[in-house]
């Protein structure tokens, strides 16, 4: 039995404590409601067949690899802003996972195009830091807002990459591991955050939510053009076009934001009561 399996080692420790299974159900439900049924659309991608497709592949994955390196670097900043051991166990795993995703993308580009993209990945990584500036370095909340933005709102982007018809079949296969990693990051982080929030006073909850909503608006505005660019690059490889993904993304963002950062007094109260009664039942 492997570590982290439902019936394995993790089931008796923090997996249960953080109620990751419940979070997984909620996110599965969001996904079913907001994102069209893709079961028939995801097929084994075929390799690029001409220079135009190879060029599109190179540029998309040199961007995505840089984004995953940016995520690994920013995630590591979390080690300096929290000493919560639960959260640190996510951070250390996430650094390894997202760093590995970046390596897969680099290797895949080299396999598909015969060129090592590392110089372009480096340039894209620099550009990404220039775009985002010091937001992930702005203490615990700046860092947490980075996690929210890059881990939760990327789901439509991940699905769009999966429906693309041109790609690297080996990466489609590795993709199963990547989706599982990303689901773990989301579920762990949301379960941890909602539990953390439920333990604060109402005043503190309002203050935290208010600041995180401000960060949310800042990240969304800064990344709008970048995000559109990534989706457009995916479309060159058979992914959905921007006008389709835009709608999905808006709905997905709104739904997840309201789940993580409930705003009305009523939503906040029922959320806190809900977490408290789940705690009581678990004991
Ligand atoms: Fe990743
Ligand atoms: Fe991730």
pLDDT value at 5 more than 50: no
- CA 265 / ligand 2 centre spacing (Å): 31
- CA 264 / ligand 1 centre spacing (Å): 32
Contact (Cβ atoms closer than 8 angstroms) between residue 234 and residue 53: no
End-to-end CA distance of the chain: 26
Contact (Cβ atoms closer than 8 angstroms) between residue 62 and residue 117: yes
pLDDT at 14: 56
In this predicted model, what pLDDT tens digit does every residue of 205-233 receive, in sequence order? 999 999 999 999 999 999 999 999 999 99
pLDDT at 43: 65
pLDDT value at 93 more than 70: yes
What is the spatial distance between Cα 61 and Cα 239, in angstroms, rounded to a whole number?
A: 14
Q: 8 in a domain, yes or no?
A: no
Domain count, the chain: 1
pLDDT at 278: 58
Q: 3 in a domain, yes or no?
A: no
Q: 161 in a domain, yes or no?
A: yes
Contact (Cβ atoms closer than 8 angstroms) between residue 270 and residue 220: no
pLDDT at 169: 85
pLDDT category, 63, cuts 50, 70, 90? very high
Q: CA 155, 158, 161 angle in degrees (round to 5)?
A: 150
Q: 16 in a domain, yes or no?
A: no
What is the spatial distance between Cα 74 and Cα 174, in angstroms, rounded to a whole number?
A: 24
pLDDT category, 2, cuts 50, 70, 90? very low
Give the residue numbers spanning the domain of 128: 47-277
pLDDT at 109: 97
pLDDT category, 267, cuts 50, 70, 90? confident
- CA 6 / ligand 1 centre spacing (Å): 22
Q: 39 in a domain, yes or no?
A: no
User: Which ligand is the nearest neighbour of the Cα of 187?
Assistant: 2
Q: 27 in a domain, yes or no?
A: no
- CA 263 / ligand 2 centre spacing (Å): 26
- CA 266 / ligand 1 centre spacing (Å): 35
Q: When comparing pLDDT for 40 and 132, which is higher? A: 132
User: Which ligand is the nearest neighbour of the Cα of 186?
Assistant: 2
Q: 24 in a domain, yes or no?
A: no
How far are the Cα atoms of 17, 68, 95, 191 from residue 71, in angstroms, in the given order? 26, 5, 8, 20
pLDDT at 276: 59
pLDDT at 7: 46
Q: CA 45, 49, 55 angle in degrees (round to 5)?
A: 90
- Nearest alpha-carbon partner for 179 in 244, 120, 101, 117: 101
Q: What is the DSSP letter of 46?
A: B
**Which residues make beta-bridge pairs with 201?**
none
Query: Which range is least confidently modeled, 34-43, 117-126, 204-213?
Result: 34-43
The model's pTM = 0.90
pLDDT at 232: 97
pLDDT value at 10 more than 60: no
What is the spatial distance between Cα 95 and Cα 91, in angstroms, rounded to a whole number?
A: 6
Q: 237 in a domain, yes or no?
A: yes
Q: What is the DSSP letter of 237?
A: T
CATH of the domain at 263: 1.20.1260.10
Please provide the average confidence, as pLDDT, over all residues in the chain: 89
What is the spatial distance between Cα 73 and Cα 216, in angstroms, rounded to a whole number?
A: 20
pLDDT value at 64 more than 80: yes
- CA 272 / ligand 1 centre spacing (Å): 31
């Amino acid at each position: 039995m492997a570590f982290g399996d439902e019936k394995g080692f993790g089931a008796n420790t923090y997996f249960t404590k953080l109620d990751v299974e419940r979070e997984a159900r909620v996110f599965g439900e969001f996904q079913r409601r907001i994102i069209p049924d893709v079961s028939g659309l995801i097929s084994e991608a075929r390799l690029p067949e001409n220079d135009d497709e190879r060029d599109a592949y190179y540029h998309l994955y040199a961007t995505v690899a840089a984004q995953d390196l940016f995520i690994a670097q920013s995630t590591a900043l979390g080690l300096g802003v929290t000493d919560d051991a639960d959260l640190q166990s996510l951070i250390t795993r996430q650094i390894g996972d997202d760093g590995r995703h970046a390596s897969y993308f680099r290797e895949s580009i080299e396999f598909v195009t015969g060129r090592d993209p590392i110089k372009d990945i480096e340039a894209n990584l620099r550009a990404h830091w220039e775009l985002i500036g010091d937001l992930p370095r702005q203490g615990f909340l700046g860092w947490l807002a980075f996690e929210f933005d890059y881990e939760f709102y990327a789901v439509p982007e991940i699905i769009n990459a999966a429906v693309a018809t041109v790609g690297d079949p080996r990466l489609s296969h590795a993709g199963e591991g990547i989706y599982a990693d990303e689901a773990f990051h989301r579920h762990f982080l949301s379960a941890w955050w909602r539990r953390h929030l439920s333990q604060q006073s109402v005043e503190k909850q309002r203050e935290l939510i208010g600041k995180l909503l401000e960060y949310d608006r800042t990240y969304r505005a800064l990344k709008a053009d970048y995000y559109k660019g990534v989706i457009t690059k995916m479309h060159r490889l058979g992914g959905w076009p921007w006008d389709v993904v835009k709608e999905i993304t808006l709905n997905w963002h709104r739904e997840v934001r309201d789940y993580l950062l409930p705003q009305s007094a009523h939503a906040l109260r029922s959320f806190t009561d809900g977490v408290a009664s789940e705690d009581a039942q678990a004991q």
